[in-house]
Amino acid sequence: MKKIIFIILISSQTLLSQTLNDLQFGTDSTFDIISWNIEWFPKNNNTAGEVQEILTNLNADIYALQEIEDTMLLKQVVSNIPGYECSFKSTYYGGLAYVYNINTVQINSKYEIFTAQSYWNAFPRSPQVIDFNFMGNNYIVINNHFKCCGDGMLNLSNNNDEENRRLQAVTYLKQYIDNNFVGKKVILLGDLNDELTDNNSNNVFQNFIDDNTNYLFTDMAIAQSNSVNWSYPTWPSHLDHILITNELFSDFQNSNSLVSVIRIDDYMGGWSNYDNNVSDHRPIGLKLHFGTVSNITETSSHQNRAFNFTDILGRDTHKYSMGLFLKLYDDGKVEKKIILK
């Protein structure tokens, strides 16, 4: 018993000794996109410096941000990161924003959708779209921040019910993608303020989940896993999501692709410091590798413990099953594996 306790203490000490200098996510061989609610940026005078270091070290191609209150300060932060620019609709109040690597991402257009007053109930913040090219391929990203709060129960008879408002947003967005982006590589992401794992009658995302031929929540396995890896620890829940269309399924199924809630608090001495100085949300990132899917065995260089195995739809499966499965690690990483017998 003493030996086990000693090992746990050593492991915890190693984790707490990590700093933002050790933080990493993006690579030169992958397309890396991160959604991050930075809680009314900035929270205090320390926030800008912390966010600059985090964005620099994560090294993503695109950041889709929410709750940007001070647009001028964000511009200043991004100006200190070589090769990056930022974009938001308003010059005085950002709300939603993009930060992107100008060396890897070529922006074709940027615009808002559902801006008319008739959509304000569904969208308190109009979704922001960017159309861009990356490595010769065209992509669409839709950044969102849905209405918050509610009681967890979907009330279809009340248009002002928070869950109903999120359901309206999902319905409009699905119709928009179905009608306007046929055959396009679409990523819908953001602080969607609801759970993927609610039962069918209360699940605002059910239309997307049911249409699994065309849509996939890349983070479904995270939502179904241990709460320590969720994006909103303050009220333990997983509220930040990344949805892809079927044109990206094969890229996501590549064994080198992954989706992960990035536990930045582990690199800042703990949750309290991160929450007080940066945000109450952790970022969630998607890494897409475009190489050939390889035949993978159980061998892995990952240093953390795998605690669950699911198929691509998030259903539990045996780790020795034949085919594609998701391997969930206790640090929040999700790894694709292909087993051929």
What strands, in cross-sheet order, belong to the sheet with 128-134? 105-112, 128-134, 137-145, 185-191, 240-245, 215-217
Confidence of residue 294 (pLDDT cuts 50, 70, 90): very low
Q: Give the architecture (CATH level 2) of 27-293.
A: 4-Layer Sandwich (3.60)
Confidence of residue 93 (pLDDT cuts 50, 70, 90): low
CB 219 within 8 A of CB 284: yes
pLDDT per residue as tens digits for the range 271-290: 999 999 999 999 999 999 98
CB 318 within 8 A of CB 299: no
Ordered by start, the domain boundaries in the chain are 27-293
- For residue 89, what pLDDT is reported? 80
Q: Within 13 Å, how many C-alpha atoms sit on residue 314's CB side? A: 15
E strand residue ranges, 158-282: 185-191, 215-217, 240-245, 258-261
Number of H helices, E strands in the chain: 8, 15
Residue with tokens 């999902």: 170
Per-chain mean pLDDT for the chain: 87
For residues 206 and 340, give the distance between their C-alpha atoms in angstroms, rounded to a whole number.
32
pLDDT per residue as tens digits for the range 42-72: 999 999 999 999 999 999 999 999 999 999 9
pLDDT per residue as tens digits for the range 19-30: 999 999 999 999
For residues 204 and 167, give the distance between their C-alpha atoms in angstroms, rounded to a whole number.
5
- For residue 257, what pLDDT is reported? 97
Q: 95-101 and 84-87: which strand pairing? A: antiparallel
List Cα–Cα distances, 12 to 15, 24, 88, 267, 303, in angstroms.
5, 20, 40, 12, 14
List Cα–Cα distances, 334 to 255, 282, 285, 313, in angstroms.
10, 16, 11, 13
